[in-house]
Structure 1
Amino acid sequence: MLKRLPTVLVVDDEVRSQEALRRTLDEDFEVFTASGADEALAILEREWIQIVLTDQRMPGTSGVALLREVRERWPDAVRIIISGYTDSEDIIAGVNEAGIYQYLLKPWQPEQLLLTLRGAAELSRLQAENQRLAVDLKASAPVLAARAGERRGQLAQRYALDRLVRAPDSPMNALCAMVERLAALDIPVLLTGESGTGKELLARALHFDSPRAGEAFVVENCGALPDQLLESELFGHKRGAFTGAFEDRVGLFRQADGGTMLLDEIGETSAAFQVKLLRTLQEGEIRPLGSSRTQAVDVRVVAATNRDLEAEVRAGRFREDLYYRLAAFTLHVPPLRERPMDIALIAQSLADETGAALGRRFAPLSRELVACLTAWRWPGNVRELRNEVLRMAALADGDTLSAAHLSARVLRAAESEQEAALELIDGLQGDLKTRLDALEARILKEALIRLRWNKTRAAQELGLSRVGLRAKLARYGLERA
């Protein structure tokens, strides 16, 4: 199939000028000619014309007047005018009124004319392509909207609180119940706890269970960037605001407008940045770097930190007014060592997830492996546990994860715990009942000390009621000094 040449309509009342233009353009364009405005309009009625090239001074209607009508009736046609008069007021006004693409002076040069019309043809092609894309986009808008809604539904399901892995007696249950209550309340929440405990997962659950679930959820690690870059990331910047700012940038607050933003490691920010963040939270508006205008934003802010912000406030390292802006409600995420009942379940979930990613299916974790995992205190929390599962998966020969492939430090902890248990049993005296009572008293005391004498959590961990725990404490004379 032959490719059709771009079409051009040459309008000139002088026949010699028409022919000269035709000879110059004939090889690259399909050329139509007209001697005046009426003839040109008739051709435009019946032919698809991409470019209109007209002389300015003609009997009757001028070139500018013709192009003004062309713009109204055939706005996609690219309009070019030729004139021998450089000071024509009609042409100067027509550049805007008639939307003239180019103004050529007589005598024109063939190379210049061809270059101008090739540019006009490319412009016509791009305009047509944009129109097709606009039509396609409009037609696909319902499909895209449906896909976006489906994606939001998938995310909401993925980060639902009931999918957070935990045991029936886990302290995470009370925390998840509180997150569920807070989700519907559009108030700032501060998540505290050690790194790797799952603060971001809870923040996502808070968002996707809230009325803002249909909008964006944005995360920024405040401890990873210096002040200027952090401000640029959050508030945006104008071109030239600082060295390297070659174009305008929309900040994360604008991207999260209507949704939720997680400011992770908020305790690592400087005093200067805290002042600017406080203003944003107070006024509900941002000002991009290098701009004199503010922009209103509607964002729910969830902050997270592994620091004790109250201690930071007392030490003068964190603004008290900002702290109260962020901590309308504070949730503490316990470390993994304080919820040993969750370790086996989380490890099994991570093993299933890793196996699916590798195209393998691992067998349920053995008792020996679970015992080794629960013996370690997991200073890196769930993040460290994930690394151990990945390590075992990488070294596994079959479909079984082996304790032999754990890191040396985890294995040493399991061996030390076994030795300590043997020493404990060896040190007990008396008959079986006496030894069991002494062992039970030691277990109770160890749990209470580790949980800072929180009797409710100790009872949950040991599978006792509060009444039963109090009875045992009274029986063994275990009271906090």
Structure 2
Amino acid sequence: MDFENRPTVLCVDDEIRSLETLERTLDEEFDVLTASSADEAMALLEHNEVQAILCDQRMPDKTGVAFLTEVRERWPQIARLILSGYTDSEDIIKGLNEAGILQYITKPWHPDNLLLIMRGACRLCELQNENELLAMEMRLTEGQAEQNISQKKQRLQQAFQLDEIRRHPDSPLNAICNQAGKIAPYDVSVLVTGPSGAGKELFARALHYNSLRVDKPFVVENCGAMPDELLASELFGHKKGSFTGAINDHEGLFEQANGGTIFLDEIGEISPAFQVKLLRVLQEREVRRIGEHQRRKVNVRIVASTNRDLEEEVRAGRFRQDLYFRLAEVTLELPSLDRRTVDIPVLAKGFLDNAMQDFDKPVKGFSDEALDCMSRYCWPGNVRELQNEVRRMLVLAEDEWLTADLLSPRVLRAAPIEEAEETEILAGLEGTLKERVETLEKRILRETLIRHRWNKSRASKELGLSRVGLRSKLERYALEQSGSAIAPEQKQ
């Protein structure tokens, strides 16, 4: 028993022997105060912190119920118990209603049972005190919490402002961002097209956070490679027991997004049967959960995306024309990264800034040579592939600059076509045989030197050249190492 933190109980009884017996029993676990009258008990309560009171019902000056009623008014957190040799129902009802009695204990009582009851009474008092402290803390922090939420919303809205989308001043995205800014405030359905990894979800979020629905939910569902039943459950919801595994009622994403925006990613992948279901929801603006007959009205804005040519899919009969026109009131077509190479350095520096925060690993930036290699590469995975490459470079980096030798071999080679065969590479070259061979030789020399961090001894050994022979070829092709480097974007 921790004697420094023992609860304090007050026993009140006009019979001295009874008080002594109670004290001997409870003293094992509690600090016990005793009083032979209500007035004496009141005096003790004025100067002591008590968790529980055990009071005899029949006392000459005042009944236990009357005394505990007064206690309730002044110290409501104290647990109140009555000890009585009588079982008068009127006393019991009065005690419950007026004094808030926690428990009636009848005489004769058993010591073990009494200890158990008093432990529970003191624990209840402790919980009540904790609850009051928490309630007070909640009241004090409620305003701060609201302020924090408001600040987070503002930061989120700021992050998805169209002006904040990373791009070069001469980027092809400028016209697209300008168009998106014009349509964002209006409740029109938008179809965002472009290759995988081009940033379609980024633009969907930007449309939402620049719309009048900004304070309402934004929800996302990837429709690709998902069975119709599961997709219907996710989007429209289901009733408990409507199919195997439906153990609870489930609110679909259309209901969750009510008042806000739902982003249907890879919409071109849904089956013809599901296209009919989705079309009805878009036409009627209501959903019916699986297993229910009730229809629920929803008010959502639709933003969809696809990497397919949906117009061609419509002509081929694989996508419903009426659904296409429902989804594509306005179309935003995002270019692949190889069609906006001016954005590559800007994106890379932004991704590096984020990665340094994620990994808590600061560096100064990229070498010019690294950025040159990244700008030459075709990036079939688009922006997402570039982001992954930057994070990989930072993880592998041992110096304060990210140099070209940290790049993946496919990026380092900077081939115009990923994994291109030798014949395809040759077909892309122009000029005489001698000129084509020299172009290949220059590319091989450059890639080998970058991998070896321009260590000419290692490069000449790998290529089977003497240092003099390698130096001669470098002079012939005007190959030299870039000396400068580029730092990541600084945070505002």
TM-score, with normalisation over the residues of structure 1? 0.65
How far is 1:272 from its partner?
7.0
Partner of 1:408: 410
Query: Counterparts of 2:328 and 2:283 in 1: how far apart (Å)?
Result: 12
Query: Counterparts of 1:383 and 1:408 in 2: how far apart (Å)?
Result: 16
Query: Counterparts of 1:286 and 1:117 in 2: how far apart (Å)?
Result: 55
In the alignment, structure 1 segments of 5+ residues that lack a partner are: 427-481
Query: Counterparts of 2:238 and 2:131 in 1: how far apart (Å)?
Result: 29
Match of 2:430 among 419, 423, 427: 423
Query: Counterparts of 1:235 and 1:274 in 2: how far apart (Å)?
Result: 14
Partner of 2:122: 121
Query: Counterparts of 1:126 and 1:74 in 2: how far apart (Å)?
Result: 15
What does residue range 120-159 of structure 1 map to in structure 2 within 5 Å? Answer: 120-159=121-160
What amino acid sits opposite 1:370 in the alignment? D
Q: Give the direction of change, closer, same or farther, for the CA distance of 1:96–1:402 in structure 2 (3 Å limit).
A: farther
Query: Counterparts of 2:111 and 2:332 in 1: how far apart (Å)?
Result: 76
Preserved contact between residue 57 and residue 65 of structure 2 (Cα < 8 Å)? yes
Query: Secondary structure at 1:331's aligned position in 2?
Result: strand
Preserved contact between residue 265 and residue 304 of structure 1 (Cα < 8 Å)? yes
Partner of 2:479: none
How far is 1:214 from its partner?
5.2
How far is 1:196 from its partner?
0.9
User: C-alpha deviations, 1:4-24, integer Å up to 9, x for none?
Assistant: 532323344544433322222
Query: Secondary structure at 2:415's aligned position in 1?
Result: helix
Partner of 1:30: 31
What does residue range 156-167 of structure 1 map to in structure 2 within 5 Å? Answer: 156-167=157-168
User: C-alpha deviations, 1:401-455, integer Å up to 9, x for none?
Assistant: 32784433773633879755642689xxxxxxxxxxxxxxxxxxxxxxxxxxxxx
Which stretch shows the higher mean deviation, 248-257 or 341-350?
248-257
Which stretch shows the higher mean deviation, 308-317 or 145-154?
308-317
Query: Counterparts of 1:120 and 1:93 in 2: how far apart (Å)?
Result: 20
Query: Counterparts of 1:7 and 1:246 in 2: how far apart (Å)?
Result: 48
Query: Counterparts of 1:144 and 1:284 in 2: how far apart (Å)?
Result: 35
User: C-alpha deviations, 1:22-43, integer Å up to 9, x for none?
Assistant: 2222243233445566765665
Which stretch shows the higher mean deviation, 178-187 or 193-202?
178-187
How many pairs does the alignment contain?
423
Preserved contact between residue 367 and residue 404 of structure 2 (Cα < 8 Å)? no
Query: Counterparts of 1:304 and 1:22 in 2: how far apart (Å)?
Result: 77
Preserved contact between residue 238 and residue 250 of structure 2 (Cα < 8 Å)? yes
Match of 1:361 among 340, 360, 364: 364
How far is 1:113 from its partner?
1.8
How far is 1:128 from its partner?
1.8
Query: Counterparts of 2:393 and 2:145 in 1: how far apart (Å)?
Result: 41
Preserved contact between residue 395 and residue 405 of structure 1 (Cα < 8 Å)? no
Query: Counterparts of 2:297 and 2:7 in 1: how far apart (Å)?
Result: 48
Preserved contact between residue 152 and residue 213 of structure 1 (Cα < 8 Å)? no
Preserved contact between residue 377 and residue 411 of structure 2 (Cα < 8 Å)? no
Preserved contact between residue 194 and residue 200 of structure 2 (Cα < 8 Å)? yes
User: C-alpha deviations, 1:52-89, integer Å up to 9, x for none?
Assistant: 33445667876556655654543322233445567836
What amino acid sits opposite 1:413 in the alignment? A
Query: Counterparts of 1:290 and 1:41 in 2: how far apart (Å)?
Result: 64
Q: Give the direction of change, closer, same or farther, for the CA distance of 1:408–1:330 in structure 2 (3 Å limit).
A: closer
How far is 1:198 from its partner?
0.8
What does residue range 40-189 of structure 1 map to in structure 2 within 5 Å? Answer: 44=45, 47-55=48-56, 67=68, 70-83=71-84, 88=89, 91=92, 99-186=100-187, 188-189=189-190
Query: Secondary structure at 2:137's aligned position in 1?
Result: helix
Query: Secondary structure at 1:117's aligned position in 2?
Result: helix
Partner of 1:17: 18
In the alignment, structure 2 segments of 5+ residues that lack a partner are: 434-492
What does residue range 339-418 of structure 1 map to in structure 2 within 5 Å? Answer: 339-351=340-352, 353-354=354-355, 358-366=361-369, 370=372, 373-376=375-378, 378-394=379-395, 398=399, 399-402=401-404, 405-408=407-410, 411=413, 413-414=415-416
TM-score, with normalisation over the residues of structure 2? 0.64
How far is 1:360 from its partner?
0.9
Query: Secondary structure at 1:413's aligned position in 2?
Result: coil
Query: Counterparts of 1:35 and 1:203 in 2: how far apart (Å)?
Result: 76
How far is 1:390 from its partner?
3.7
Preserved contact between residue 349 and residue 365 of structure 2 (Cα < 8 Å)? no
Preserved contact between residue 227 and residue 273 of structure 1 (Cα < 8 Å)? no
How far is 1:111 from its partner?
1.7
Partner of 1:455: none
Q: Give the direction of change, closer, same or farther, for the CA distance of 1:130–1:221 in structure 2 (3 Å limit).
A: farther
Which stretch shows the higher mean deviation, 391-400 or 172-181?
391-400
Query: Counterparts of 1:86 and 1:314 in 2: how far apart (Å)?
Result: 89
Query: Counterparts of 1:238 and 1:33 in 2: how far apart (Å)?
Result: 61
